[in-house]
Amino acid sequence: MLERVEVFELRDKYQGKKLSGYDVDEKTGAVVVYPLDAVYHDGIYYSMEEGGPISFENYVLYVRQYIKDRPLQVPGTGVIVYRTNSQGKQEVLLQLRRDFDQYGLPGGGIEIGETYQECAVNELLQETAYIANEEDLELVNVYAGPKHVTRYPSGDIVFHTVVAFKVDADKCKKAPHMFDMKETKKIVWVTIAQIEDLLKQGKVFPNNIPILEDVVKNAPL
């Protein structure tokens, strides 16, 4: 984390220099975000006025206060963690979701200020307790449109834009804590053939169907 003194030094160096855009400080590597009067470093935004971290509210919950249950466009991520099992078959890590009682990829909506890589890493850790590095993520595809509209049990309608990444499980490690059991019933490793069966049985979270269909079509990953 940046100390307040460091933030204030950057403020003195950059504040008021531009109205918009950004600069990257050569000494610290911090990104000075002019529209926010903030400094971004190691996944945290710091206020140049107060020197401390800026806390952003949950974006979707914040917007829902105003639009209620009307359709909302939400960008987010999905993470395809893959490995080869002892029988030489490729497997993918799926979560059994609590809200739909269906299987899907770990992932979720991007929060204000996050990059898509940060979102992918954060959601993977929260929903599966697997730790990945941003630099190991490989972009697979971007999914949106009529196949990616979800009505949640609450009645909320979401138009998803999903940035899908893949990562080799050998480059991940298991965290010592459990996954978030409010969102995830369990996590399972499934073979490509088992994914095909889940798709045929209608046991895949609808928003993830086109993504997992592509996983099957393009296997091995």
pTM of the entire predicted model: 0.86
Rounded-to-integer distance, Cα 159 and Cα 157, Å: 7
Question: Which residues, listed in sequence order, are joined to residue 138 by a DSSP beta bridge?
Answer: 166
Angle between helices 192-200 and 209-218 (to 10 degrees): 140
Domain edges within the chain = 4-47, 59-218
Average pLDDT over residues 152-175: 96
The pLDDT tens digits of the residues spanning 91-104 come to 999 999 999 999 99
* Residue 110 DSSP code: P
Average pLDDT over residues 46-68: 91
Task: Give the H or E element holding residue 7.
Answer: helix 4-14
Q: What integer pLDDT is reported at residue 35 of this predicted model?
A: 94
Place of tokens 């965290």: 175
The count of C-alpha atoms lying within 13 angstroms of the C-alpha of 119, restricted to the half-sphere facing its C-beta, is 21
Rounded-to-integer distance, Cα 51 and Cα 45, Å: 10
Distances in Å between the Cα of 125 and the Cα atoms of 55, 82, 191 are: 20, 15, 22
- Taken in order 130, 131, 137, 139, is the CA torsion positive or negative? positive
Q: How confident is the model at residue 58 (pLDDT cuts 50, 70, 90)?
A: confident
> Is the pLDDT score of 109 beyond 90?
yes
Q: What integer pLDDT is reported at residue 191 of this predicted model?
A: 98
Place of tokens 């470093």: 41
Fold of 59-218: Nucleoside Triphosphate Pyrophosphohydrolase (3.90.79)
At position 107, the amino acid (one-letter code) is G
Q: What integer pLDDT is reported at residue 40 of this predicted model?
A: 97
Q: How confident is the model at residue 57 (pLDDT cuts 50, 70, 90)?
A: confident
The pLDDT tens digits of the residues spanning 123-132 come to 999 999 999 9
